[in-house]
């Protein structure tokens, strides 16, 4: 299967848009693992169309954005002894850095590498299906003119206007009628709304990364060398601070905060920039920095690299901001005053920023790799880019986020009872007035032990727990936004009959149903157990605090008191 063609079809109007005829095809490069599923879904969605449609040279090709998985299955968490590794319960706690930012001077080096690291056979070997254009890594199909879209299957659905029910393109675009299918449809799952808030973490401390679909929280990058230690920044603390401050100034127009002293918690979607090292510390070819191109920043958890150590702080900031710009959907341009200009250090010195207005994008050997559909929205043509308009279409203007997010546990209901061996389905309903937030699941047993502390990276909002032994469990939903508002909601469930719990001793040290709400990454993982612990002591010791009821009735009363829902807002 090389190309799947979809015949010309009408598009409906959306907020005053003029209806036009658009044809589309899916260009399928030889995909790496992270691309294959989405491409196959798009290609097999309409097999009858694929057979009936003749090739249309005038059609527009689309390729799946590799930074996002548009279809998210429920997260399966299996507590049984024979569970598959990917389904075993996880506790995704933040890992402390090996060194502190204040220790950077101890790692300062005056001479930075000018040649690739010796014995580096991985250099210049990107995953199959990806290509490097200067400091950008894109799907190979884009080199032949394909338009990157967040959901290829949606863009290729016959008879559907991808923007139906979406944003008002007349408010976003200067040329709304030029927007091809699948562009600015956005991600309708919670967390992907626009406008968004966002966080960028400048990692000067290095660390071990692994090859995989982009996930900054888990040190996964399509450009990484698995198991390779990316080196600590060699420019020292003072230069690092100066570069970070200049980068923060580049993004001061938007609600995009730049941090470097502390790494954001895993639950929060953020872009990570690895600052330092050399291009041979990745699978990229020669460059001053490299990043995946993520049109409309759908991934939100990308990892990019700035191979900067001892150059002037302004030059380092320019490179860092350009690589961040790629992860937010910006390509190279000819604007000499922009950090997105290809080879800007040879055209204009000093601290640069983002360009306001449409300018030509850079074509390498007659091939263009840019967010063509987005560019048509703002400039009318695909080979021009407006940096600021593109960023304002996705991110909120700079300001304070005063609205806390909310999260509800749709199911199970508080106090639900399950038979041993029954699957417990947990469904979240997160919300905030701006996009970019993240959430996770916490599960505690009756003794207050944290069994699961797992971020919902794919934003599935559904968890299926299987293999739970008889016990009383506290289920906590935890949500956080980029203003560091934290909100939790909890319910308590029981697995197994009261007789089974009594026989197994599962209720002896059961905690309360409060389930969390304290600040920090371990929030919600240790509920307030003082009340239940006191009652447990009373029952065991037979003190005068207990009622005169028989032990069985007392246990039932204790269980009823345990089954409660608590919610704490921060």
496: domain CATH number is 2.60.40.10
CB contact at 8 A, 45 and 6:
no
Q: Residue 37 class from Cβ within 10 Å (0-12 exposed, 13-18 middle, 19+ buried)? A: middle
Mean pLDDT of 259-266: 96
pLDDT class for 35, splitting at 50, 70, 90? Answer: very low
For the chain, give the mean pLDDT. Answer: 78
Identity of the highest mean pLDDT range in 111-115, 138-142, 148-152, 478-482: 478-482
Within a domain: 297? yes
Residues 413 and 470 in one domain: yes
Of 343 and 135, the structure prediction assigns the larger pLDDT to: 135
Q: Are residues 440 and 490 in the same domain?
A: yes
Residue 121 lies in a domain: no
Is the confidence at residue 410, as pLDDT, over 90?
Answer: yes
- Average pLDDT over every residue of 195-211: 96
Same domain, 482 and 518: yes
* Residue 72 pLDDT class (50, 70, 90 cuts): confident
* Averaged pLDDT for residues 38-52: 31
Q: What are phi and psi of 313, to 5 degrees?
A: -60, -35
Residue whose C-alpha is closest to residue 163's, from 145, 144, 138, 180: 180
Answer yes or no: are the C-beta atoms of 293 and 130 closer than 8 Å: no
Q: Which of 246, 242, 292 is nearest to 271 (CA)?
A: 292
Give the tens place of pLDDT for each residue, 437-474. 999 999 999 999 999 999 999 999 999 999 999 999 99
Q: Looking at 364, 379, 394, which one is the last position of a domain?
A: 394
Give the pLDDT score at 51. Answer: 31
Residues 212 and 280 in one domain: yes
CA distance 369 to 147: 9
Instruction: Identify whether residues 479 and 405 lie together within a single domain.
Output: yes
Do 246 and 301 reside in the same domain of the chain? Answer: yes
Same domain for 467 and 351 = no
Q: How many domains would you assign to the chain?
A: 2
Q: Which residue has the tokens 């600015």?
A: 184
Both 325 and 389 in one domain: the answer is: yes
Answer yes or no: is 119 within a domain.
no
Asked if residue 126 is part of any domain, the answer here is no
Q: DSSP state, 227?
A: T
Report pLDDT for 570: 40
Identify the CA nearest to 88 among candidates 80, 99, 100: 80
- Write down the pLDDT at residue 181: 84
Residue 135 has pLDDT above 50, yes or no: yes
pLDDT tens-place string over residues 339-357: 998 764 444 568 899 999 9
Identify whether 206 is part of a domain: yes
pLDDT tens digits, 140-185: 988 888 888 888 877 776 444 544 545 678 889 999 999 988 888 8
* Chain centroid to CA 409: 22
Residues 118-130 have a mean pLDDT of: 69
pLDDT > 70? residue 321: yes
**Domain termination site, one of 394, 410, 437:** 394
Q: Is the pLDDT of residue 83 over 50?
A: yes
- Report whether pLDDT(78) > 90: yes
Q: Which residue has the higher pLDDT, 78 or 158?
A: 78
Domain boundary among 347, 376, 394: 394
Domain-located, residue 125: no
Is the pLDDT confidence value at 77 over 80? yes
Which is more confidently placed, 82 or 530? 82
H runs (alpha helix) in 301-386? 313-327, 372-379
Residue 98 has pLDDT above 90, yes or no: no
Distance, in Å, from the CA atom of 561 to the CA atom of 12, rounded to the nearest integer, reads 56
Residue 515 is part of which domain span? 401-569
Residue 29 has pLDDT above 60, yes or no: no
Question: What's the confidence (pLDDT) of residue 384?
Answer: 95
Kindly state whether residue 255 falls inside one of the protein's structural domains: yes
Supply the pTM of this predicted model: 0.79
Lowest average pLDDT, out of 249-258, 383-392, 537-546, goes to 537-546
506 located within any domain:
yes
Mark whether 535 and 515 lie in a shared domain: yes
* Residues 314 and 220 reside in one and the same domain: yes
Which pLDDT tens digit goes with each residue over 215-235?
Answer: 999 999 999 999 999 999 999
Residues 460 and 345 in one domain: no
| Same domain, residue pair 292 and 202 | yes
């Amino acid at each position: 299967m090389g190309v799947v063609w979809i015949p010309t079809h009408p598009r409906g109007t959306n907020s005053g848009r003029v209806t036009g005829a658009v044809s589309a095809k899916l260009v399928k490069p030889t995909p790496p693992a992270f691309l294959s599923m989405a491409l196959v879904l798009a290609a097999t969605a309409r097999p009858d169309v694929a057979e009936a449609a003749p090739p249309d040279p005038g059609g527009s090709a689309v390729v799946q954005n590799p930074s996002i998985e548009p279809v998210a299955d429920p997260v399966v968490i299996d507590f049984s002894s024979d569970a598959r590794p990917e389904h075993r319960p996880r506790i995704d706690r933040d890992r402390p850095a090996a060194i502190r930012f204040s220790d950077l001077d101890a790692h300062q080096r005056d001479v930075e590498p000018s040649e690739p690291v010796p014995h580096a056979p991985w250099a210049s070997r990107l995953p199959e299906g990806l290509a490097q254009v200067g400091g950008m890594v894109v799907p190979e199909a884009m080199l032949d003119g394909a338009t990157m879209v967040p959901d290829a299957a949606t863009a290729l659905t016959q008879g559907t206007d991808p923007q139906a029910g979406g944003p008002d393109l007349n408010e976003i675009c200067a040329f709304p009628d030029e927007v091809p299918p699948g562009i600015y449809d956005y991600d309708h799952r919670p967390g992907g709304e626009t406008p968004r808030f966002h966080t960028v973490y400048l990692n000067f401390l290095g660390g071990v990364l692994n090859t995989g679909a982009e996930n900054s929280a888990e040190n996964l990058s399509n450009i990484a060398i698995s198991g390779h230690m990316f080196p600590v920044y060699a420019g020292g603390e003072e230069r690092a601070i100066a570069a970070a401050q200049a980068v923060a100034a580049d993004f001061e127009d938007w609600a995009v905060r730049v941090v470097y002293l502390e790494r954001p918690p895993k639950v929060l979607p953020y872009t990570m920039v690895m600052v330092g090292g050399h291009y041979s510390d990745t699978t990229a070819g020669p460059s001053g920095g490299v990043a995946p191109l993520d049109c409309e920043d759908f991934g939100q958890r990308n990892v990019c690299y700035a191979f900067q150590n001892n150059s002037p702080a302004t030059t380092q900031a320019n490179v860092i901001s350009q690589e961040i710009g790629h992860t937010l959907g910006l390509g190279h341009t000819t604007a000499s005053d922009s950090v997105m200009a290809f080879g800007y250090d040879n055209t204009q010195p000093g601290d640069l920023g983002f360009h306001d207005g449409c300018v030509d994008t850079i074509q390498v050997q007659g091939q263009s790799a840019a967010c063509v559909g987005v560019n048509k929205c703002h400039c009318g043509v695909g080979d021009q880019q407006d940096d600021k308009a593109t960023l304002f279409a996705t991110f909120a203007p700079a300001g304070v986020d005063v609205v806390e997010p909310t999260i509800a546990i749709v199911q199970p209901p508080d106090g639900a009872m399950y038979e041993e061996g029954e699957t417990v389905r947990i469904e979240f309903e997160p919300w905030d007035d701006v996009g970019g937030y993240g959430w996770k699941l916490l599960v505690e047993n009756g003794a207050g032990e944290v069994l699961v502390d797992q971020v919902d990276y794919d934003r599935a909002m559904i968890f299926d727990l299987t293999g739970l032994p008889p016990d009383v469990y506290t289920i906590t939903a935890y949500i956080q936004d980029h203003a560091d508002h934290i909100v939790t909601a909890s319910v308590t469930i029981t697995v197994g009959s009261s007789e089974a719990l009594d026989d197994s001793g599962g209720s002896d040290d059961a905690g309360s149903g409060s389930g969390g709400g304290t600040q920090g990454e371990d929030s919600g993982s240790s509920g307030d157990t003082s009340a239940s612990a006191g009652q447990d002591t009373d029952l065991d010791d037979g003190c005068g605090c207990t009622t005169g009821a028989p032990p069985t009735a007392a246990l039932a009363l204790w269980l009823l008191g345990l089954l409660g829902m608590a919610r704490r807002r921060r």
